Protein backbone atom coordinates (compact mmCIF):
# COMPACT_ATOMS: atom_id res chain seq x y z
CA UNK A 1 0.00 0.00 0.00
CA UNK A 2 1.14 3.53 -0.59
CA UNK A 3 1.48 6.05 2.18
CA UNK A 4 1.67 9.33 0.36
CA UNK A 5 -0.80 10.92 -1.98
CA UNK A 6 0.40 13.63 -4.30
CA UNK A 7 -1.84 16.37 -5.53
CA UNK A 8 -2.42 17.21 -8.32
CA UNK A 9 -1.94 14.00 -10.30
CA UNK A 10 -0.95 16.05 -13.35
CA UNK A 11 0.17 19.64 -13.80
CA UNK A 12 0.83 21.55 -17.03
CA UNK A 13 2.52 24.95 -16.95
CA UNK A 14 4.53 27.30 -19.12
CA UNK A 15 8.26 27.84 -18.79
CA UNK A 16 9.03 30.47 -16.19
CA UNK A 17 5.98 29.72 -14.07
CA UNK A 18 6.17 28.17 -10.65
CA UNK A 19 4.97 24.62 -10.01
CA UNK A 20 3.58 23.51 -6.68
CA UNK A 21 2.96 19.89 -5.76
CA UNK A 22 1.48 18.65 -2.53
CA UNK A 23 1.85 15.42 -0.65
CA UNK A 24 -0.14 14.00 2.24
CA UNK A 25 0.82 11.01 4.33
CA UNK A 26 -0.80 8.91 7.00
CA UNK A 27 1.57 7.88 9.78
CA UNK A 28 4.25 9.66 11.79
CA UNK A 29 7.57 10.04 10.00
CA UNK A 30 11.26 10.63 10.66
CA UNK A 31 11.77 12.41 7.37
CA UNK A 32 10.15 13.03 4.02
CA UNK A 33 11.91 13.02 0.69
CA UNK A 34 11.06 14.16 -2.80
CA UNK A 35 12.24 12.26 -5.86
CA UNK A 36 12.02 12.95 -9.55
CA UNK A 37 11.64 10.42 -12.34
CA UNK A 38 12.08 11.12 -16.01
CA UNK A 39 10.13 8.87 -18.36
CA UNK A 40 11.69 5.43 -18.52
CA UNK A 41 14.39 6.25 -16.00
CA UNK A 42 15.14 5.60 -12.35
CA UNK A 43 14.38 7.99 -9.54
CA UNK A 44 16.67 10.87 -8.62
CA UNK A 45 16.75 12.20 -5.10
CA UNK A 46 15.90 15.90 -4.89
CA UNK A 47 15.66 16.88 -1.25
CA UNK A 48 15.12 15.45 2.23
CA UNK A 49 13.36 17.29 5.02
CA UNK A 50 13.43 15.99 8.59
CA UNK A 51 10.41 15.90 10.84
CA UNK A 52 11.76 18.73 12.99
CA UNK A 53 12.26 21.02 9.99
CA UNK A 54 9.53 23.21 8.50
CA UNK A 55 11.15 24.45 5.31
CA UNK A 56 14.16 23.65 3.20
CA UNK A 57 15.63 25.12 0.03
CA UNK A 58 17.85 23.69 -2.67
CA UNK A 59 18.43 25.81 -5.75
CA UNK A 60 15.03 26.39 -7.38
CA UNK A 61 13.37 23.90 -5.04
CA UNK A 62 11.54 24.78 -1.86
CA UNK A 63 10.02 22.12 0.36
CA UNK A 64 7.75 22.66 3.31
CA UNK A 65 6.62 20.17 5.91
CA UNK A 66 3.66 20.43 8.25
CA UNK A 67 3.67 17.42 10.56
CA UNK A 68 0.46 18.51 12.28
CA UNK A 69 -1.36 18.24 8.97
CA UNK A 70 0.80 15.36 7.73
CA UNK A 71 1.51 17.21 4.53
CA UNK A 72 4.40 18.54 2.48
CA UNK A 73 4.71 20.72 -0.59
CA UNK A 74 7.35 20.98 -3.29
CA UNK A 75 7.70 24.29 -5.10
CA UNK A 76 9.77 24.56 -8.26
CA UNK A 77 10.38 28.18 -9.16
CA UNK A 78 11.02 29.53 -12.66
CA UNK A 79 10.31 26.18 -14.23
CA UNK A 80 12.12 24.96 -17.34
CA UNK A 81 11.16 22.45 -19.99
CA UNK A 82 13.81 20.15 -18.51
CA UNK A 83 11.77 19.99 -15.28
CA UNK A 84 9.20 17.87 -17.13
CA UNK A 85 9.05 14.63 -15.13
CA UNK A 86 7.09 12.79 -12.48
CA UNK A 87 7.65 13.86 -8.89
CA UNK A 88 7.16 11.57 -5.91
CA UNK A 89 7.16 12.14 -2.20
CA UNK A 90 8.41 9.33 -0.01
CA UNK A 91 8.38 8.67 3.71
CA UNK A 92 10.17 6.05 5.74
CA UNK A 93 8.15 3.07 6.89
CA UNK A 94 7.66 2.44 10.58
CA UNK A 95 10.41 -0.17 10.66
CA UNK A 96 12.78 2.29 9.04
CA UNK A 97 13.70 -0.25 6.39
CA UNK A 98 12.17 1.22 3.26
CA UNK A 99 10.63 4.21 1.56
CA UNK A 100 6.91 4.43 0.94
CA UNK A 101 6.08 6.40 -2.18
CA UNK A 102 2.98 8.20 -3.32
CA UNK A 103 1.53 7.86 -6.80
CA UNK A 104 3.31 10.95 -8.03
CA UNK A 105 2.55 14.18 -9.84
CA UNK A 106 3.30 14.35 -13.54
CA UNK A 107 4.63 17.79 -14.40
CA UNK A 108 4.72 19.03 -17.97
CA UNK A 109 6.51 22.30 -18.69
CA UNK A 110 6.06 23.69 -22.17
CA UNK A 111 8.27 26.28 -23.80
CA UNK B 1 32.05 6.74 -9.13
CA UNK B 2 29.49 4.68 -11.00
CA UNK B 3 25.89 4.69 -9.91
CA UNK B 4 23.56 1.77 -9.38
CA UNK B 5 23.35 -0.43 -12.43
CA UNK B 6 20.72 -3.00 -13.32
CA UNK B 7 20.54 -5.68 -15.97
CA UNK B 8 18.87 -6.49 -18.17
CA UNK B 9 17.18 -3.16 -18.90
CA UNK B 10 14.31 -4.90 -20.66
CA UNK B 11 13.03 -8.43 -20.33
CA UNK B 12 10.20 -10.13 -22.14
CA UNK B 13 9.12 -13.44 -20.66
CA UNK B 14 6.44 -15.93 -21.50
CA UNK B 15 4.02 -16.66 -18.72
CA UNK B 16 5.41 -19.44 -16.58
CA UNK B 17 9.06 -18.67 -17.25
CA UNK B 18 11.54 -17.89 -14.50
CA UNK B 19 13.45 -14.59 -14.66
CA UNK B 20 16.46 -13.22 -12.80
CA UNK B 21 17.12 -9.51 -12.45
CA UNK B 22 20.51 -8.21 -11.37
CA UNK B 23 21.47 -5.14 -9.37
CA UNK B 24 24.98 -3.74 -8.87
CA UNK B 25 24.83 -1.19 -6.05
CA UNK B 26 27.19 1.71 -5.52
CA UNK B 27 30.46 0.43 -4.12
CA UNK B 28 30.51 0.63 -0.34
CA UNK B 29 26.76 0.96 0.06
CA UNK B 30 25.62 -1.36 2.80
CA UNK B 31 21.88 -1.12 2.24
CA UNK B 32 20.12 -2.41 -0.85
CA UNK B 33 16.44 -2.20 -1.72
CA UNK B 34 14.18 -3.64 -4.39
CA UNK B 35 10.99 -1.89 -5.50
CA UNK B 36 8.28 -2.75 -8.00
CA UNK B 37 6.71 0.06 -10.02
CA UNK B 38 3.54 -0.61 -11.97
CA UNK B 39 2.61 1.67 -14.86
CA UNK B 40 1.43 5.05 -13.62
CA UNK B 41 2.13 4.24 -9.98
CA UNK B 42 4.83 5.02 -7.48
CA UNK B 43 7.42 2.40 -6.54
CA UNK B 44 6.34 -0.18 -3.98
CA UNK B 45 8.81 -1.74 -1.58
CA UNK B 46 9.68 -5.39 -2.07
CA UNK B 47 12.68 -6.21 0.12
CA UNK B 48 15.70 -4.77 1.96
CA UNK B 49 19.21 -6.06 2.58
CA UNK B 50 21.85 -4.83 4.96
CA UNK B 51 25.06 -6.38 3.67
CA UNK B 52 24.13 -10.00 2.91
CA UNK B 53 21.31 -10.15 5.45
CA UNK B 54 17.77 -9.83 4.16
CA UNK B 55 16.23 -7.83 7.00
CA UNK B 56 12.83 -7.14 5.51
CA UNK B 57 11.01 -9.06 2.81
CA UNK B 58 7.53 -8.05 3.79
CA UNK B 59 6.83 -6.47 0.41
CA UNK B 60 7.41 -9.57 -1.71
CA UNK B 61 3.99 -10.30 -3.23
CA UNK B 62 4.22 -14.08 -3.23
CA UNK B 63 6.57 -16.98 -2.66
CA UNK B 64 7.37 -16.86 -6.37
CA UNK B 65 9.57 -13.86 -5.60
CA UNK B 66 12.99 -14.47 -4.12
CA UNK B 67 15.91 -12.12 -3.59
CA UNK B 68 19.47 -12.75 -2.53
CA UNK B 69 22.69 -10.86 -1.93
CA UNK B 70 25.14 -13.60 -0.99
CA UNK B 71 28.32 -11.52 -0.73
CA UNK B 72 26.80 -8.27 0.38
CA UNK B 73 27.25 -6.49 -2.93
CA UNK B 74 25.44 -7.66 -6.09
CA UNK B 75 21.84 -8.69 -5.62
CA UNK B 76 19.52 -10.83 -7.72
CA UNK B 77 15.74 -10.73 -7.71
CA UNK B 78 14.27 -13.94 -9.04
CA UNK B 79 10.68 -14.40 -10.10
CA UNK B 80 9.54 -17.95 -10.66
CA UNK B 81 6.64 -18.99 -12.90
CA UNK B 82 6.02 -15.42 -14.02
CA UNK B 83 2.46 -14.18 -14.35
CA UNK B 84 1.10 -11.28 -16.38
CA UNK B 85 0.55 -9.25 -13.22
CA UNK B 86 4.31 -9.36 -12.61
CA UNK B 87 4.77 -6.97 -15.55
CA UNK B 88 6.31 -3.84 -14.08
CA UNK B 89 9.55 -1.94 -13.71
CA UNK B 90 11.77 -3.39 -11.00
CA UNK B 91 13.94 -0.77 -9.36
CA UNK B 92 16.99 -1.35 -7.23
CA UNK B 93 18.37 1.27 -4.84
CA UNK B 94 21.33 1.42 -2.50
CA UNK B 95 22.32 3.65 0.37
CA UNK B 96 24.73 4.01 3.23
CA UNK B 97 23.59 2.40 6.49
CA UNK B 98 20.13 3.37 7.61
CA UNK B 99 20.09 5.80 10.46
CA UNK B 100 23.38 7.30 9.45
CA UNK B 101 23.85 10.90 8.38
CA UNK B 102 23.23 10.05 4.75
CA UNK B 103 19.84 8.41 4.17
CA UNK B 104 19.37 9.09 0.48
CA UNK B 105 18.60 6.07 -1.64
CA UNK B 106 20.27 6.03 -5.05
CA UNK B 107 18.22 4.29 -7.70
CA UNK B 108 19.23 2.32 -10.72
CA UNK B 109 17.49 2.75 -14.11
CA UNK B 110 15.27 -0.26 -13.50
CA UNK B 111 14.46 -3.44 -15.40
CA UNK B 112 11.25 -3.28 -17.38
CA UNK B 113 9.66 -6.74 -17.30
CA UNK B 114 6.88 -7.68 -19.67
CA UNK B 115 5.20 -11.03 -19.20
CA UNK B 116 3.19 -12.24 -22.19
The string of pLDDT tens digits covering residues B57-101 is: 999 999 999 999 999 999 999 999 999 999 999 999 999 866 554
Report chain B's C-alpha Rg in angstroms. Answer: 13
Q: Identify which of B29, B2, B3 has the alpha carbon closest to the alpha carbon of residue B108.
A: B3
* A2 pLDDT higher than 60: no
User: What confidence tens digit (pLDDT) does each residue in A16-72 have?
Assistant: 999 999 999 988 888 899 999 998 788 999 999 999 999 999 999 999 999 999 999
Collapsing DSSP to helix, strand or coil, B85 comes out as helix
Question: Which residue of chain A comes nearest to B4, CA vs CA?
Answer: A42
Residue of B nearest to A4 (CA): B42
Q: How far apart are CA B40 and CA B83, in angstroms?
A: 19
pLDDT at A4: 66
Is A102 near chain B, with CB under 8 Å? Answer: yes
Residue-level pLDDT at A3? 59
What is the Cα–Cα distance from A88 to A105, expressed in whole angstroms? 7
Of A92, A98, A102, the CB nearest to B42: A102
Amino acid sequence: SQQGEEDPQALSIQEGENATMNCSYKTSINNLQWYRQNSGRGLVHLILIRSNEREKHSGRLRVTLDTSKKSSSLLITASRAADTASYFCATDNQAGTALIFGKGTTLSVSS
Amino acid sequence: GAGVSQSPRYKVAKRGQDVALRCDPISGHVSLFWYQQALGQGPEFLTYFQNEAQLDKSGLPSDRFFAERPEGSVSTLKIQRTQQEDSAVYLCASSLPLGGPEETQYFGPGTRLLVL
